Amino acid sequence: MSILIGSVLLWAASLTIARKLWIEDREVLREALRRMVSTSVFIIPRVAVGLIGSGFLAELLPQDNIAMLFGKEAGYMGVMLASLFGPLTPGGPFVAFAIGAAALKAGASEAALIGYVTSWSLLCLNRDLVYELPVLGARFMRLRWLLALPVPFIIGALAMLLT
């Protein structure tokens, strides 16, 4: 339901801005629409391939091992292992969340999944090597990783206490 509310709010904001530009500056509106089409043409095929591919990938997870490695019985080691896999997950949210949902369905604990998603969000190796390292430099990336590395473990451990 919250995705519906967010979508409605984004559409309302977009249409309000488009209406304002229609009245005040149609040239800016044309440029915005041109960029929207260009971005859509670039993104939509990637989203489609990502959704289909991540669905297949999620089904290929060895379900019998998931519960053993990441289930409640695995305890803190399961959270630690899941937190280590987060940064190694390639792709965007379509891949990471599909893997997370499949792992949860296969018996992974919520705490392990929270560690996984948190580490993927904070420390995505693919994104960091492609964008952060060249733009912000190795020193910045090392410092951020050093500070962020314990966060998924801590949050996963707290989730274990709460669930």
- Chunk the chain into consecutive blocks of 10 residues (it has 163) and report each block's average pLDDT, rounded to whole numbers: 82 93 93 93 82 73 84 93 93 81 87 96 91 94 96 96 91
Identify the burial level of 19 via C-beta atoms within 10 angstroms of its C-beta, where 0-12 means exposed, 13-18 middle and 19 or more buried: exposed
Q: What is residue 120's predicted lDDT score, i.e. its pLDDT?
A: 95
pTM higher than the cut 0.75: no
Domain ranges, ordered by start, for the chain: 2-56, 63-162
Identify the burial level of 38 via C-beta atoms within 10 angstroms of its C-beta, where 0-12 means exposed, 13-18 middle and 19 or more buried: exposed
Q: What is residue 138's predicted lDDT score, i.e. its pLDDT?
A: 95
Three-state secondary-structure class, residue 62: coil
pLDDT in tens, 63-104: 778 888 999 999 999 999 999 999 998 877 878 888 888 888
